[in-house]
Structure formats: C-alpha cells, structure tokens
Structure 1
Amino acid sequence: MTNSRKFIAAITAAVIVGLVALVVLTKFLVTPERVKGLLLPRVEKALNRQVGIEQVDISLFSGIVLKNIEVKELKDATNFLQAEAITLRYRFWPLFRMRVEIDEISVDKPKIRLERWTDGTFNFSDLIPTADKKTATAQGETDLSAEESTTGNIQLLISQLAVRQGTVQLIDHQVAADPLSYKLDDFSLQVSQFSLQQDFPAQLSATLNGAPLSINGVVNLAKSSAEVKIVMPGLDVMPFAPYFGEQLPGRLDRAEIDLDLQLSGNREVLASEGQVRLHNVDLQLDAMPQAPLKGAKIDIDYDIDLDLKSQRLVVDHGRLSLNEVPLYVAGEIQQGAKKSLDLNLRINELNIAKVLKAFPAGLVKDFVPLEPAGLITARIHLAGTPERPRELVQDAEMRLDGVQALVGTLRPSLTGLVSINGDALLTENLVLVVGDNRLQLECEASSFTKLPIVAVANVRSDHVIIDQLLPRESSSSAGALTSSKSTGAASPSTPPEPLDLPLILSGTATIKQAFYRGLPIDGLQTRYRFQNNQLQIEDLVGQVAGGSFKNNSLIDLGRPGFAYRTQLSTLGVQADPLLRVFVPKAAGSVYGLMNLDLDLKGQGTDFEVVRNQLSGQGSLLLREGRVTGTNLLKELSNFLGLPELSVMGFDQASGRFAINKGRFDLTSSLVSQDLRFAPRGDVGLDGTLNLALDLRLSPDLTEKLDGSGRFAQLLVDADGWGQVPLRVKGSVARPKFALDTAFIKGALKGKAEKKLQETLEEKLFRKEVPADQEDSREKEKKLLEGVIKGLFGQ
C-alpha cells in the first residue's frame, strides 16, 4: 500500500469515527427528555403561560421537531397558540464542545388567537415588555447566562424564526356591542435574529378578507417600536366600518382600498408616509344629500408625524384628490381638549371643466349650464379653532387664468390675482374680458369675514363696446315673442324674487370711450353704491351726439319684482343720432338739439308689468329742428292737402308730459315760420294715439288750404293765420286724422257773436260821442254784448 492510499484511508477512518462520535454525542446531548426538561420551563417562564408539547423528534441533520404544541391563554385553558410542528435547528460545531445552540425555529400551520378586551388591553399585552419589567428581565437574563455557563446544557439563541401557512384570528370586544372577528389566512412570518430586547427584521405576508397583505420591517418588542412597510391592494373596507363609521360625515355604502405605506414609531410618536387609494367609493355626505359620491376615486399621498401623547399631527406634505382633482395640504392639527389647526392648502392650475366632470352631478348641477372653464391656482392659510370657521382664513391668494362662464348669451372671462389678508380682500391686475372689451377691476374689501361685507370696486377701461356687454336675444326667445304677438297673448313671466345680500359695495366706473350700436359716448363715468339691497347710481355723465347727459338712478332689489327710479337730463344732444340708436324706425325723421329732463319710477322687468307700473314726468325742448318722413306728417299732409307739411322745420319745440299706467299725458308746442303746432292729449307706450292738435298755418299756407276756402273764411285770425283744429286717433304707425268738430263749432259760434256785435255797434254807435258821454256809450256796448250772448244760448 502506498503512502497516499494510507493517508486517504486514515482520513476516511477519521471521518467515519467523527460521524459516529457525533451521532453518539447527539443522542447523548439532545434527547427528548432533555429538550422537554430544558425548553418547556424556560418557555413557560418567559411567556408566563402553560405550554404543552405532544412529541419531540430529534435528528442529526433535521434538528429537533416539536409536534402538536399548545400555548394556553393567561387566565383560562383556551389556546392562545397552537401549531402542528415547530422545528428547532441547532448549530453543528458547538456539539463538539458539548453544547447545543438552537439558532433557527420554524413553525408550521400555527393558529393564533388575538383578542382585544373592552378596556383596550390584549390577550398578549403581558408579553410586551414595559419599563417596569426591564429590570426584572435584565436580571432574568443574567441568571440564565450564569446557569448556562455552569451547566453547559442547550442554549436557545434564535437567529431565524419562520412561520408558514398560519392562521390568525382577530377578535375585538371594544368597538361594537357584538365582538368583531377577522381572519388572516396564509399567514407567513420570517424573523431574523429574534430578540425580546433588540431590533430584529421581520417579514410578514397573509391574506386579509381576500386581500393580499405584505409587511416588511424592523421590530423592537422591548421599546414597542417598529419601522415597517405595508402593502395591501384591493381590501374591501366595509367589514372594518365600525372602526371609523362614526367619524364619517355621512354614510359609506361601498369602498375598496389599496395601501402602500411606510410606518415607524413607538408608544409616543408615530411617523408615516405613503399612498392610500380608495376606489369604487359610494358615500352619502350628510351636508350634501343631493350629491352622493358614486364609484368615486379618492387618492391620498402623505408624509405625517403624530405625537400620541400631545395628540399633535404634523403634515409635512399631503395630496388629496377626488377623481384626479388634487388638493395639497401641509401644516399642523391639534386634537384633544383644545382643538386647533394651522394648515396651508394649495391647488395648482386647477382645470374648472375637469372639476365639473369629477365632482358629483348633484353638487355641480347648477354650474353645468354655465359651461365654466379656465384655470385656478390658489393658496389658503387656515389657522384657528374649528368652532369658529369664519375666522380660520388668515391669508390666501387665488390666481385666475381665463376663468369664464356662460351668462345668458355672454361668456365673460376673468384673469388676475385675488388676495386675502386677515379681514381684507384685494385684487391685483384683475381684468374682465367680454368680447373685445377689457375692463380693469380694482376691488378691496375691508370686512371680508364679517357681515355685512364692506367692499369697494372700481372699473376702468379705455374702450368699451356696450353691445357686447348686453345679452343677445336668442332665436328661440325671439320666436316665442313673435308667436305671442301674433296671437295677441303675452307670455307669462315670474317676477324676480327680492334679494337679501349682506353686502355694502361702492365704487366708480370710468370709461374713456364707449360705443352703443355704433354711437360713440365719450368721458363716461359714474359713482355707485349698493347697500340694504338698493343700488344707487350717482352722476352718470358723459358726452354723446354733440351734447352731454347726466343720470341718477336707484334700484331697489329688496322688493318683489324690483323697483327703480331714474332722473335723466340731456343738454344740446343731437336728436337724430339718438333716434337711430334707440328708435331705429324713426331714424332720419327728427333733427335738432335736444334738452330733456326726465323723472321716472316703476317696478318689474316684464313689459306688461313695466307698462302698468311706470309713472313720472318730464319736459322736452328741441331747438333748430326738423321733422320729416314720419307717418304722422304724411297722413297730416294728405289729410289737409298740403304737401309742404311732409317736412316740418321749426325754431323750437317744447313740451311737458306725465306718465301714468303706460300712457303719456302730453302738452306741447312747436313754433316755426309757417306753423304753430300744439299737440295735447295722451300717447300710449304701445303707440296708440289720442291727441288734439291745435294747428295754425301761416297766411301763405292758409291760402293753399282747401281750394274751397271754407277753413280760411271760418278760422282765420286778424293776422291772416288759419286755425285747423284736429283730432288724432289710431297709432303712431297708422294715425287717423279728423276735424275737431266741437272745437270748430265753438270757434264759429264765437266768430258769429263777434261779427254780429261789430255790425250792431257800427250801426248804433258809429257817430262820435263827446268825451263826457263815453262812459254811457261803454255801458250800452256791454248791455248789447249780453243780449247777443243770450241769443246764442250762452
């Protein structure tokens, strides 16, 4: 045999002898009796509970297998824990030093029963070391080490702990009258370097109510601290509703949750960050019964710190979104007896149209017809107590970018900055755009959080097209109006409800140049004030059509249907440009310089109501004027056979009128070289006429009037001016002229009286009378006048 073969044989023999010796040592050191005798007392002492082991199997390579283990509850014989098998693996080399060091434990199919009582304690609370137990625990570890050093028996040094296919039953007596029960299935736990005193890593996985749960982190049982990551998608929230149902401001009918969280903390502080995703949320809020959430999606991203002792929550950052509409939050919330908050809320370029789609239909139904759009960026600082919500806003900023809405047929757009500081509101670069109009708004409120709100708002613009600020009549409304006119029936309308606005608003409006239907208005400016639901417009002035105007108005919005009064005056305004704008059908018919004084009052917005309620008075002076082409003049010219009257020029026309129940009571006069015109009577707002015209014609026109000459003979004064008394009925569009027979009869009668008296006087008193007899002659004339009147029945 060669040397090499001898060496290999010796090595082989040594290995065989070693294995045999190892088996012998294992059988000698690790016996079921020694395991039970050493392990059970120590476990029972550590847990302070009764522990039972049905069978112990020992294998050199498999380790120690404990079968059918039971750990009882502290106060009764109910099982706190039971497992089919627990495997304890020991280290190989310490066996040669006559020591058994168990460093790995695996538990198969355990069943754990966790229970919380009504006082908040758990059935495992006694197993968690507290500050009072630390000294005793440390002393126990010292005694244990001493014992081990002298006996040299089995050491329990756990480096790995594994739990597989477990079940955890959770029973809670504290939340509801009937105990709540939950179960963790497929429970698995992997712990490295387990210790009751030091940090150790742990990994847990399970299925909670069908949702997979994963927890990974580091735990310290002595400090009651942990740092873990929790992931759980698709958990049905409703079985856990008893834990949070009372805190909800409404009723939750359905919700699922996804969790991805980082948690760290101990008995005093808790820190957490991560994401919470709620989907398929059906929530009925108490404050909004008309706007339930259906199938909503709520996302929460956060980073918070909670001081459990002081109940102070610090939100480092948070993002809350409803159907992907986000709100950002940061600040502090103080719970407990003295509740307070100090939060900063922020939204970034919020798309209003997107909000409308994201929020419940019942909540935004009033805004949908407005078709709002644009972007809003806002920051709000809230501080104070929740019991005084109106005082929570400390300062805020809201930037508007093209915020617009449909108002009737208009779509105004607002851009600028609105800021709040304490009790004051201020705007900066706020611009209102309507069509081609740009209005600069300067607003300031000095009492923003108190009622009534006191505010000042000034409006400035260089160029305004008023037509684009007024609602356009839609085709449907025009068709309805035409239909109502054709049938002769007015469409019923509901008068506006009175307003009760807790607002005191004042300010000015200054517009360099405005246009209304092409008519330029220069230097338009006014002051206004809104208080006690009354809008007062003071000194609305401007220059128009070569003249100027001034208006003062009062509109009472606190009365049903609204009530108003206006006082308007014009000076030297050209009549034709105004008529072209306000009465297009009369364009080109009246010319001259107009002075108007008007005082009107009324109520309502419907035409029928306005016509019945309108009253007032006024006066008109028209100088250097001309009237032409009107139906009134055409019919007058045809009636009298005087083509010259189709165009009526005059030096001055004046009149006074009173308005009552939709009719003008008119007294006026027109004087020119060839005419003296004095209409009297009433004109309706609907255009109906009932006038008496005392028309006087110059001698030239009198000669032309009626070839038969009957008017000229009967109604001509001493200066040769002919008098033609007329009545006008019908309407402005279709006037109907007729002679005023009553006036003519009276005039002829008076003329006959005068002619008879003159004849008799000439016959009776043609001789001259001495001066001393003149009084006697006068008495005779009066006596004759009385006789003549008696003959004519007067």
Structure 2
Amino acid sequence: MKPVLRIAAGLTVLVLVVLAALAAYLSLFFDANDYRERLSALVAERTGRQLTLSGELKLSVFPWLGFELGAAELGNAKGFSDRPFAALTAAEARVKLLPLLRQEVAIDRVVLKGLQLSLERRADGTTNWADLTGAPKDERPDRAGPGEGAGQAPAGLVVGGVDIQDAVVRWDDAVNDTRHALSDVDLTIGAVVPGQPFDIDLGASFSTNAPAMQGRFSMRGSATVDMAEKRYSLLGLRGALKANGEGVPGGAVDAALMADVAADLAQGTLSIKGLSLKAYELSLTGALEGTGLPEAMVLKGPVALDGFNPREVLARLKIEAPRTANPERLKRAALKGMLTLTPTRIALDDLAASLDDSKLTGRVEVADLSRRALRFELSLDALDADSYLPPAAANGAAPAPSAAGASKAPSAAAPGPAEGLRELDAVGRFQVGTLKLNGLQLSAIDVGLKAAGGRLDVTTKGALYGGGLDSRVRVDARPKTPQLDMSGGVRDVQIGPLLRDLTAKPERLSGRAQLAFDLTGAGLDAPSLKRTLSGTTTLTVLDGALKGVNIAQLLREAQARLTGKAADSASGPSQTDFSDLKATLRHGGGLVRNDDLLMRSPLLRVGGAGAADLVRETIDYRIDAAVVGTLTGQGGKSLDKLHGVTVPVLVSGSFAEPKYALDVEALLAQAAKGAVKEQVETVREKAKDRLKEELKKGLGGLLR
C-alpha cells in the first residue's frame, strides 16, 4: 500500500511542478496579444466573419485558468444588417485548474460589460447564427451511452458570481415582421455554492412592436442551486413591471409580484408560497403545491382575488363601465377557491365569489385545454338583473340604440353565434335562488346546459307566481343554417301579479294561466326566426277576469240606446269575469294565426280569429262578444234585448300602435233582426263612438 501512496504523491508533485513551470513560461514568454491577427484569420476562415479585437488580451494558467478580454466585435453573417452579431467592451472569466481533475468546476466571478447581441431572421427563415452551430444535427456524433462518461455533469459546480452590465439583446424577425429588444440589462449574481443561498438581482428595459409596448422589469431574491440533489429555490422573490403602449391593456400597467418558490426535481415537487400579484387595482394571493414534475405536473392550492371595485378596474383598463339602472352596481366584487393546474386542465373548486349583493358558489373546470371543454356546477343566491340593465329613458322607455349602432351590420368576416356553438364543448348546471328580470320575480331556477359537436341543449325549470316553468331549447348548429327547437311552458301561473310586475301598471287580466309551446325555427337571429318559426302555442286562463271593462254593462248601455231608454247605472267592479279563456296560436310563414279564441262566462261568449304578421309587425284580428242567455248577468239587469246579438271589434295596426274599431254595420245588421229598424240611423252615430271607445279601452288591455 505504501508504494502506491508514494507513486500517487510523486505524480501529484510532478503535475504541480509541470503546471508551475507552464505558468511561469506563459507569464514570462507568452503574450496572447501576439496572436490577435492569427485568431481573427482563423475565425474568418471557419465562419466567414470578421473578428475585431481592439482591447488587450490577458491569459492565466495557475492556479486559475482564465482570460481577460477588452473590447471585441464579431461581424454579422452575409445578407444581414450592418450591426455586429456580437460585441462587448470587456469580459473576464477564470476557472480553478486543479478541481477540474476531480470533475469539479470552480469558476471565479464572471464579468461581461457592454454586451450587444443582434439576432436576426430573414423572410426566408434563415438566421444569422445558423453558420455558427456547426454540422447539422443528424451529422453530429451520437452522445456517449450510459456508463461511457461522455456528457456527464461535473461532480460539483462553484461560481464566484456573475456580473453583466449594460447588455443589449435585439431580435428582428422578418418572417413575422416583429422587432424585440432588451436594453440596459443588468444582472448580478452572488457566489454560487451548491446548497448555499446566493443573491440574484436582474433588471432590464424592453421594447416590442408586436404588440407595441415598452417598459422595464426587475427581479430580485435569494436563490439556492444544488444540481447534485436537483434542488432549487428562489426565496423572497420580488418582481416589478412597468409598461406602456398600445399593446398594454389600458395603455399602461404597474404590476408587482412576490413569492417563495422551491423545487425538488428528484422528488418531483414544487412549492409556491406567499404568492401575491398586484395590477390594475387587483390583488391576487395564494399558495400552490406541485407534484409529478416535470412530465405530469399537478399544481394545487388556494387562491383569492381580494375585494375590488369593478368600475375602478375597468377605468384603469380604459374600458367604459356599462350604465346601470342602479348606479351603485358593479362596485364590489371578490373571488376565492381551490385552484388545480395541470398541462391539460384547469379547475377552480370550492368557488366562492360575490358581486355587489349576489353570492356565487360551486366549481368551474376546463377539463381539456386543447378543446376548451368547459364543465361547471354553479349556484347563485339572488340576482336583481334589472338593476344591471341600462337605465330607462326620461319617458320611462328603454333608451333607443344609437343610429350608428342600429345601422351597422355585422361584418361578414366576423364569426357569428353559429361558429361559436360549433366549437363549444360545455356541460353544466346553473341554479338561482331568486331572480328579478324585466320586473318578473322567479325563484328556484335550475338551468342545465350541454353542448358538444355543434349541438346545444338547454333545460330550464323554476317557480313562477305560484306556478312553475319548464322548458327545453335545442340548437343544431351543424347545418349551414342552425336549426332551433323549443318546447315546454308554464303551469298554474297567477297571471295578474305577473302582468303587474311585467308592465309596472295595474293588471288588465287575472286568473290561473297555462301555456304550452312546441316550436321550430331556422337561424339564431330575430329576423330569421320571425320568418321561419313554425309550430303551435296553446293558452288557457281559468277563473279569470278582464279588468278595466265591464262588457255586460257596455252591452246594457247598447241595449238601452237601441231601445231609446236610459241605461241603468253600473254596479260592481269594472271588470268582466270569465270561467275560462282558451286560444291556440299556429306559427308559420312569418305569421301567427289564431282561429279559436274563446272566453266563456255565465253571460257572455267572446270569440276571435285573425293573424299577426311577425315580419311586418302588423295585426289583422276580429273579436266577437255575444250575450248567450236572457238570465240576469253580471251587474244585475237582464240583457234579453241583446240576446243573440254579437258585438264585433276589429283590431288592426302595428304591434307598437294597435288600432281598435267597432264593426257598427255588422252590429246594427244584427240589431235590425230584433225589430228595431226604425232606430238604426239614430243609434248608428251614438253607439258607434261610445262602444268603440269603451271596447278599445277594455279589450286593448287583453290584447296587449
């Protein structure tokens, strides 16, 4: 054993003597500056580029193998800009020689001053560094296999520090017509020792034309690198970003980031604690734990978007906040939940969000990021949707759209709703405790949605004024013109309170309503649906009353005028009671036709027939009211003189301004059959105006 030790010691001494002698020789007789021209010529021969060394060269061998370089410049490749490919004002780097024999790397502080790097790509895809990469990849020798030692990482790496000052990096891409630049780059890294923390401080200005923006970012913290154990950390991370330009949302941003980051690649774990990101009056906080790094990464942890004012955020983004009927809306919001991130999905569980007085809970997930497959289960406690709608105009009507907005047609190139539905992949459920919409009060709303392969299916259930709502809407967007299918209806709805809330006026109709519809159409816009809607809608109102008009009293007055007697004074409420009202609406060809309107009461029968043109928004309808008995009707007096006489009312005009007219000729023709011909001419003018006004006032409410 002793002879072996003596030989090893002797070889070590011999190596040291040789290195010392080499170092002495180089320091006394070797001057690297004597080889400037030869080095430049070699670079030109190998690359075709000009290397200019205008600064002094210094070499050292022992105990440090290193160099110091003054100003230097490497020319650009042919066919590119006149800027040098790379240039610097000074550089310095040294590595200890003896540790290299033990496969250990001990680097002294690395210094780069005034570095300038110009990266370019021409329109044909050629880059200005392609000639520096050597042989094509498929011609390079294979890497050494396992156990052969080639390419193995050093046993240890120690760096005394890195100091980069005033660096500039440019990237000009003619393929995409983009230009990016980093300037005033300053990077300072403390001594890097495996497993020991070191400080890092980075700052740089940037500019880009796509998107157009410029600004400066900075980052600092305490890092730890242990490549042998595959452990890395960056604690006390503090980042800042200030940018402005057309490409920045809102034109300017001032953001700050804080976090403690640690990764153990041997265990495949990642930890992000104390996360805080602030920008645009928003503050996001959280903590994430990761597993399965790097191939099957899963990040999970709580995140929260602290309370903020949405109007202030929109103002910072230079987005005009929508005008709301309640100006105090859109002023309070917050969000928190359990975030899960993987390379293929993102989910937010235990969601708890709020907007003003409404609270939302549940979960949202993009189950497949490549397909944007949305899954959700959400519940909203209460929402006053009317308070978020635009305020009404001074006359109480909704504000009309501007002329520019009304006349502007959608762009032919802009994607329509059909394209969006064809790409939509969503399955979910949305529940609302109470909802106010257009004055209507709904509760226990349950909406189910399923969209896939160009098909959309939406089911809606809920409670509505003592009754229930149940509907289903299907859209097939696969054809060029989407197909629409709607079915369902309402049951046992108290129509009086519903109309009162909907119109904000005393109701003109009361009773229990049943509505059922089964409709189909083509297209998703209103004009297309008006033209193509087909199917049937049935309406039934039981135990109701037509308020504001007493048809029985009107008929008594008509009877009195026909007989030349004074009418009895009205008694009882100003309404017409009925046991049931039924109607079937048939849709097709842009029209809605009804031929079977029937309202029955112990005294009266009211029928109707006609049509409405949905495209032109016009009405052509006739209502017939008749006394069906001689019994004493509503209000007390007999109507035997009008028994069998039908009072016809013609409805015409537009949806916005319907017109009502009494068909006096038909009325008098029937009256003449009752042996009152001698009074026809007298009654004609008197009855015409009186009955027309009264029936217009009463029946108008029903038709509306």
TM, length-normalised to structure 1: 0.53
1:36-83 CA-to-partner distances (Å, cap 9, x unmatched) read: xxxxxx99864434847xxxxxxxxxxxxxxxxxx5349869999xxx
1:665 maps to which residue? 593
Asked which structure has the greater CA Rg, the reply is 1
1:281 maps to which residue? 206
1:546 maps to which residue? 466
Q: Distance in 1 between matches of 2:277 and 2:465?
A: 47
Deviation at 1:172, TM superposition (A): 7.0
2:609 maps to which residue? 680
Whether the 8 Å CA contact 1:229–1:263 is kept in 2: the answer is: yes
Deviation at 1:595, TM superposition (A): 1.4
The structure 2 residue matched to 1:619, chosen from 538, 543, 560, is 538
1:415-457 CA-to-partner distances (Å, cap 9, x unmatched) read: 2213326567554431232332223223466x445636363x2
Whether the 8 Å CA contact 1:699–1:722 is kept in 2: the answer is: no
The structure 2 residue matched to 1:353, chosen from 280, 292, 297, is 280
The structure 1 residue matched to 2:256, chosen from 322, 325, 330, is 325
Gaps of 5+ in 1: 1-41, 53-70, 81-114, 132-166, 190-194, 212-222, 335-339, 355-372, 386-390, 704-710, 752-794
Deviation at 1:625, TM superposition (A): 1.3
Q: How does 1:269-668 map to 2 (within 5 A)?
A: 273-283=198-208, 289-290=210-211, 292-305=212-225, 315-317=232-234, 319=237, 321-323=239-241, 324-326=255-257, 328=259, 329-331=261-263, 348-353=275-280, 373-377=282-286, 379=288, 381=290, 393-397=297-301, 399-402=303-306, 408=322, 411=330, 413-420=333-340, 427-443=348-364, 447-449=367-369, 451=371, 453=373, 455=375, 457-461=376-380, 463-467=381-385, 471-472=389-390, 481=400, 491-494=407-410, 496-498=416-418, 499-500=420-421, 504-516=425-437, 520-538=441-459, 540-555=460-475, 564-584=484-504, 587-602=506-521, 608=527, 611-629=530-548, 647-660=575-588, 663-666=591-594, 667-668=596-597
Whether the 8 Å CA contact 2:625–2:648 is kept in 1: the answer is: yes
Deviation at 1:669, TM superposition (A): 0.8
1:270-296 CA-to-partner distances (Å, cap 9, x unmatched) read: 988323332332245xxxx22x44132
Whether the 8 Å CA contact 1:622–1:652 is kept in 2: the answer is: yes
Whether the 8 Å CA contact 1:681–1:692 is kept in 2: the answer is: yes
Q: Distance in 2 between matches of 1:197 and 1:399?
A: 51
Whether the 8 Å CA contact 2:20–2:62 is kept in 1: the answer is: no
Q: Distance in 2 between matches of 1:626 and 1:276?
A: 81
1:593-613 CA-to-partner distances (Å, cap 9, x unmatched) read: 111112334466765555445
Q: Distance in 2 between matches of 1:687 and 1:224?
A: 84
The change in CA–CA distance for 1:469 and 1:416 in structure 2 (over 3 A counts) is farther
Q: Which amino acid aligns with 1:629?
A: G
Q: Please report the RMSD computed on the Cα atoms of aligned residues, expressed in angstroms.
A: 6.0
Residue 258 in 1 paired to residue 176 in 2? Answer: no
Q: Distance in 2 between matches of 1:74 and 1:401?
A: 61
Tell me the matched-pair count.
541
Deviation at 1:522, TM superposition (A): 4.3
Whether the 8 Å CA contact 1:254–1:283 is kept in 2: the answer is: no
Q: Distance in 2 between matches of 1:44 and 1:333?
A: 45
SS of equivalent residue, structure 2 residue 190: strand
Q: Distance in 1 between matches of 2:546 and 2:478?
A: 43
1:535-562 CA-to-partner distances (Å, cap 9, x unmatched) read: 4233x33333233332222345778897
Deviation at 1:690, TM superposition (A): 1.4
Q: Distance in 2 between matches of 1:49 and 1:171?
A: 23
Q: Which amino acid aligns with 1:274?
A: D
Deviation at 1:618, TM superposition (A): 0.9
Whether the 8 Å CA contact 1:434–1:468 is kept in 2: the answer is: no
Whether the 8 Å CA contact 1:669–1:677 is kept in 2: the answer is: yes
Identical amino acids, percent of aligned pairs: 14
1:15 maps to which residue? none
Q: Distance in 2 between matches of 1:729 and 1:79?
A: 102
1:162 maps to which residue? none
Whether the 8 Å CA contact 1:72–1:79 is kept in 2: the answer is: no
The change in CA–CA distance for 1:648 and 1:730 in structure 2 (over 3 A counts) is farther
| Greater length-normalized contact order (CA 8 Å, ≥ 6 residues apart) | 2
Q: Distance in 2 between matches of 1:675 and 1:528?
A: 46
Deviation at 1:627, TM superposition (A): 0.7
Deviation at 1:590, TM superposition (A): 0.5
Q: Which amino acid aligns with 2:645?
A: G
Residue 723 in 1 paired to residue 646 in 2? Answer: yes
Deviation at 1:722, TM superposition (A): 1.8
Q: Which amino acid aligns with 2:582?
A: S
Deviation at 1:684, TM superposition (A): 4.9
Whether the 8 Å CA contact 2:339–2:348 is kept in 1: the answer is: yes
The structure 1 residue matched to 2:625, chosen from 695, 701, 704, is 695
Deviation at 1:589, TM superposition (A): 0.7
Q: Distance in 1 between matches of 2:77 and 2:265?
A: 28
Deviation at 1:509, TM superposition (A): 3.9
SS of equivalent residue, structure 1 residue 48: helix
SS of equivalent residue, structure 1 residue 577: helix
1:764-788 CA-to-partner distances (Å, cap 9, x unmatched) read: xxxxxxxxxxxxxxxxxxxxxxxxx
Whether the 8 Å CA contact 2:540–2:582 is kept in 1: the answer is: yes
The change in CA–CA distance for 1:725 and 1:744 in structure 2 (over 3 A counts) is farther
